[in-house]
Structure 1
Amino acid sequence: MPRRTATMLASTLMLIALLCAGVFIKVPYSEMSPGPTVNTLDDHDGQPVLQISGRRTYPTTGHLNMTTVRVTSADYNMNLVEAVYGWLAHDTKVVPHDTLYPDGKTEQQSTQENAEEFSQSQESAKVAALKELGIPVKSWVIVSTVLKGSPAEGKLHAGDVIKAVDGSAVKVPEDVAKLVTKHKPGERVVFTIVPAKEQAAAEKAHKTATETQNVTITTTKSHDTARERAIVGISAATDHTFPFTIDIKLADVGGPSAGLMFALGIYDKLTPGSLTGGKFVAGTGTIDDDGQVGPIGGVEMKTVGARSKGAQYFLTPKDNCAAAAEDTPEGLTLVKVNTIDDALNALKDIRTGKTADLPKCTAKG
């Protein structure tokens, strides 16, 4: 056999051996890729994404698309060949497995957490949009969860409204922990509540629940800190009552990152004219009740997914701008936003053609 042929054969066999080895070598990585992008102003799976009743709505045009990211499952074992391919590909991103599933989080736990975050983001989007429109929203602090085996189990229940702790009025969820931790473990703390059932009945009758109960709980020591900290074993959250019905219908989506786009979609449907002027705008970002926009993960995948569907502009959280600008898809303008007001101002520039005035993302942020 000629030396050249033998060398080529040996090289080919070596390459095959390396590829085979790469297939069987597992690496602790996961993959992210562009997921579906959905127009919040339109239908999805045969029904409107945003359904509003009890209030006048207006026709909309253009796109206000929320964007998503696909990730490999928690139990997926990536091999070396897949990891190398993902690192080289433009439309995928390979990240350490623990980035997506920290502390050994299971697929079920991750799905549940994402569902809870998605539900909360919908509530905050509704509140932010209505506040921007000057429409009053009633809010109060509730018991969100009760830890099994904790001092509060059987005494407080999810949905109970927390009016006060030790006689001090509770206005935001953070007040609860502040007031409880004034105690030492083993001391008693008094919660003034409206039971969840009574609150639900009052809401159904469009009334305000006025009768309260005092519940005394003996605190215990937290095990998540080095210093002694008194707890009762609950988490608190904010609940709202809206003056009309706003339903967000979007299955198989999780996480908080669609909050901004939901808020803008609600605002658009409740106001005359078109926010986009018929343009294709996509975006991402968490939103809180006060309209502050927060960063999200996987922004590079979301910009790719948005542009592939035809987006011209991408509303980008301020803290994601630098990462998004590293590899911006051709034809897509990244618009920096930090609040819902920023987004509304940017949309005004887009629909009026004043795109030179847009606050654009750069590699510096």
Structure 2
Amino acid sequence: MPRRTATMLASTLMLIALLCAGVLIPVPYAEMSPGPTVNTLGDHGGEPVLQISGRKTYATSGHLNMTTVRVTSADYRMNLVEAVYGWLAHDNKVVPHDTLYPDGKTEEQSTQENAEEFSQSQESAKVAALKELDIPVTSWVIVSTVVKGSPAEGRLHAGDVIKAVDGTAVKEPGDVAKLVTKHQPGDKVVFRIVPAKEQAAAEKARRTATATQDVTITTAASDDSGAKRAIVGISAGTDHTFPFTIDIKLADVGGPSAGLMFALGIYDKLTPGSLTGGKFVAGTGTIDDSGKVGPIGGIEMKTVGARSQGAQYFLTPAENCAAAAKDTPSGLRLVKVNTIDDALTALEDIRGGDTADLPKCAK
């Protein structure tokens, strides 16, 4: 066989071998890409995203779109060819698998966690919007989760209202841990609670729950690194009673990043006129009960998704601004926000056409 032919054959076989290896060899990466955007002022799946009853609402116009990111599943094993393609693709982002699924988290665990965060973000969005409108919201501290195998298992239950710990009134979720960790492991701690069933019955009957119980729990030692702390094995959260009904209907979405856009949509429906002035505004950001906007993941994917749907302005959490500004889609204007007040002020300028001084995102 001539040397030139032999060389070409060897090169071809090597190329085929490399391609086969690239397809067959898994790599520890996952992929993020732009997901759907949904107008919080409109319909999705045939019904309004925001449904408010028991309170007067007003017509809205324009868009206040929440944005999403698609990610590969926890058990998907990307090969080398796909990873290289993802790195080269402008609209996708390849990241280490552990970034999306840390500590070997399963698809089911990730979905459950995202669902819980999504539910909490809805509650905080409602609270932030109503507080902005000076509409009273009743809040209390609850048992959010109980760790399996912990001292609290079977003694406290998710949804129990925590009124006091060792006789000291509890006003914020953080108060619970502070009061428990005053003890040494092995000490007894007394929780005064309203059982979840009693609280639910009281809410349904629109009355104040008064039936309390004292529950004594022997603390255990924390199993994390550092000094051992007294723990009972619960996480505390906040629950609320609203003066009217606000339902958010949006399936197959998880995580906390739609909080800001839900809050703005609720505010818009409860106030005369249009927040956007008919403009197409999208955005993202977590929100807490006080209206503070927090950072999210996948900002680059969300701006691409928003612009592809026609967004002109993008409300961007301040802590995400630098990343978003590195590669902003043409025609999309980033607007930096730290709070719901910042967002409302920006929307006032947008609908009035006074956009020269909108807060900018810098690289």
TM-score class, shorter-chain normalisation, is: over 0.9
CA distance in structure 2 between the aligned counterparts of 1:25 and 1:208, rounded to whole angstroms: 61
Structure 1 residues 356 and 181, CA gap change in structure 2 (3 angstroms): same
* Match of residue 362 from structure 2: 362
Is residue 74 of structure 2 the alignment partner of residue 99 of structure 1? no
CA distance in structure 1 between the aligned counterparts of 2:82 and 2:236, rounded to whole angstroms: 43
* Match of residue 293 from structure 1: 293
Q: What is the letter of the counterpart of residue 20 of structure 2? A: C
CA distance in structure 2 between the aligned counterparts of 1:54 and 1:2, rounded to whole angstroms: 88
Measure how far apart 1:2 and its partner are: 8.6
Measure how far apart 1:360 and its partner are: 1.1
Measure how far apart 1:66 and its partner are: 0.3
Which consecutive residues of structure 1, in runs of 5 or more, have no partner in the other structure? none
TM-score with structure 1 setting the length:
0.97
SS in 2 for 1:355: coil
SS in 2 for 1:320: helix
* Match of residue 147 from structure 1: 147
Q: What is the letter of the counterpart of residue 241 of structure 1? A: T
CA distance in structure 1 between the aligned counterparts of 2:330 and 2:343, rounded to whole angstroms: 22
CA distance in structure 2 between the aligned counterparts of 1:338 and 1:246, rounded to whole angstroms: 25
CA distance in structure 2 between the aligned counterparts of 1:249 and 1:8, rounded to whole angstroms: 61
CA distance in structure 1 between the aligned counterparts of 2:7 and 2:324, rounded to whole angstroms: 46
Residue correspondence of structure 1 range 1-365 to structure 2 within 5 A: 11-363=11-363
Q: What is the letter of the counterpart of residue 54 of structure 2? A: G
Q: What is the letter of the counterpart of residue 260 of structure 1? A: L
Q: What is the letter of the counterpart of residue 239 of structure 1? A: D
Q: What is the letter of the counterpart of residue 131 of structure 1? A: K
CA distance in structure 2 between the aligned counterparts of 1:11 and 1:313, rounded to whole angstroms: 52
Measured against aligned partners, the alpha-carbon deviations of 1:213-242 in whole angstroms (never above 9, x if no partner) come to: 211111111112331210111111100000
Which deviates more from structure 2 when the two are superposed, residues 142-151 or residues 351-360?
Answer: 142-151
What RMSD in Å do the two structures reach over aligned CA positions?
A: 1.4
Measure how far apart 1:358 and its partner are: 0.5
CA distance in structure 1 between the aligned counterparts of 2:350 and 2:14, rounded to whole angstroms: 56
Measure how far apart 1:15 and its partner are: 3.2
Q: What is the letter of the counterpart of residue 231 of structure 2? A: I
CA distance in structure 2 between the aligned counterparts of 1:11 and 1:360, rounded to whole angstroms: 53
Measure how far apart 1:324 and its partner are: 0.5
SS in 2 for 1:357: coil
CA distance in structure 1 between the aligned counterparts of 2:217 and 2:11, rounded to whole angstroms: 74
Measured against aligned partners, the alpha-carbon deviations of 1:114-173 in whole angstroms (never above 9, x if no partner) come to: 000000000000000000000000000011112222222222111111011011110010
Structure 1 residues 264 and 4, CA gap change in structure 2 (3 angstroms): farther
CA distance in structure 2 between the aligned counterparts of 1:274 and 1:3, rounded to whole angstroms: 77
Measured against aligned partners, the alpha-carbon deviations of 1:239-298 in whole angstroms (never above 9, x if no partner) come to: 000000000000000000000000000000000000000000000000000000000000
Which consecutive residues of structure 2, in runs of 5 or more, have no partner in the other structure? none
Q: What is the letter of the counterpart of residue 202 of structure 1? A: A
Measure how far apart 1:194 and its partner are: 1.1
CA distance in structure 2 between the aligned counterparts of 1:62 and 1:12, rounded to whole angstroms: 57
Tell me how many residue pairs correspond in the alignment: 363
Measured against aligned partners, the alpha-carbon deviations of 1:295-318 in whole angstroms (never above 9, x if no partner) come to: 000000000000000000110000
Measure how far apart 1:9 and its partner are: 5.9
Percent sequence identity over aligned pairs:
86
Q: What is the letter of the counterpart of residue 91 of structure 2? A: D
TM-score with structure 2 setting the length:
0.97
Measure how far apart 1:12 and its partner are: 4.6
CA distance in structure 1 between the aligned counterparts of 2:186 and 2:20, rounded to whole angstroms: 61
CA distance in structure 2 between the aligned counterparts of 1:83 and 1:90, rounded to whole angstroms: 13
Which deviates more from structure 2 when the two are superposed, residues 77-86 or residues 150-159?
Answer: 150-159
Measure how far apart 1:7 and its partner are: 6.2
SS in 1 for 2:142: strand
Q: What is the letter of the counterpart of residue 304 of structure 2? A: V
